[in-house]
Amino acid sequence: MKILALETSAKAVSAAVSENGRILASGYQDTGLTHSRTLMPIVEHILKNTDLKLSDMDAIAVAVGPGSFTGIRIGVSAAKGLAFSVDKPAVGVSTLAAMARNVAFFDGLIVCARRSQVYNANFSAENGILTRLTPDRAVSLDELAEEIRNNPRPITLVGDGAHLVYARFTEQGIPCRMAPPHLIMQNAMSVALEAEALAAQGKLVSAQELEAFYLRPPQADPLKKKPAPIQ
């Protein structure tokens, strides 16, 4: 199964093509340019250099959140357009689940955290197999610490909120480790591999059904009141 995956949920942008658990090509850019400017050239480049066409893909995958509202909108819109143009199904991938896949080879508990509000999900990893323990959610650092305080398994932290979690856990005497720097952030390669797992579970959707996943309303929506800050 060939999957084209897009990742636009944070500052960096990336795309990748996978086939049956193997990454065929990937492209990554973190230069401060807008995703609307950089994403499609990356996609075109990796397809051209692998002698593949969009129609060769079995599905189009994209990180649907949580993450940057603008970034997610760009990625989801691009994925919907690409999938629709070649009549292929789509796969919406949790940003947190993709992060966890970066370090699935570390047996133990994987704690994924994004931003200071701590958008979090926990996973168990054993022999490279991930098991989701919580839904994607917004929790406080104290709630997260209390939840896993007595968990005896090794704890690995990933995500742009990992440093914040590490500081709080260390302060409270909870042993944990940071993922290696090259694996701590989300990327399209992990989105592709997570998408393959979801596709195997029958979780493909149509381009029309693909939706972004926000844990709180977009602040840019002028018709909605600003959400209360998460304490």
Q: Find residue 197's DSSP bridge partners.
A: none
Position with higher pLDDT, 40 vs 222? 40
- How far are the Cα atoms of 16, 27, 55 from residue 46, in angstroms, in the given order? 7, 7, 14
Give the contacts of 32 (CB within 8 A, at least 6 positions apart). Answer: 11
List, edge to edge, every strand of the sheet that includes 22-29. 22-29, 13-19, 2-7, 59-65, 90-94
Q: How many residues does the chain have?
A: 231
Task: Give the span between the Cα atoms of 60 and 198, in whole angstroms.
Answer: 12
- How far are the Cα atoms of 5, 25, 131, 165 from residue 189, in angstroms, in the given order? 7, 9, 19, 25
Q: What is the pTM of this model?
A: 0.89
Q: What is the pLDDT of residues 14-26, one digit of tens each?
A: 999 999 999 999 9
Q: What is the pLDDT of residues 129-167, one digit of tens each?
A: 999 999 999 999 999 999 999 999 999 999 989 999 999
Identify the pLDDT of residue 231: 32
Lowest mean pLDDT across 8-12, 83-87, 203-207, 214-218? 214-218
Tell me the pLDDT band of 215, cut-offs 50, 70 and 90: confident
Angle, alpha carbons 123-228-221 (nearest 5°): 95
Identify the pLDDT of residue 40: 96
Q: What is the pLDDT of residues 157-203, one digit of tens each?
A: 999 899 999 999 999 999 999 999 999 999 999 999 999 999 999 99
Average pLDDT, rounded, for the chain: 91
Identify the pLDDT of residue 114: 82
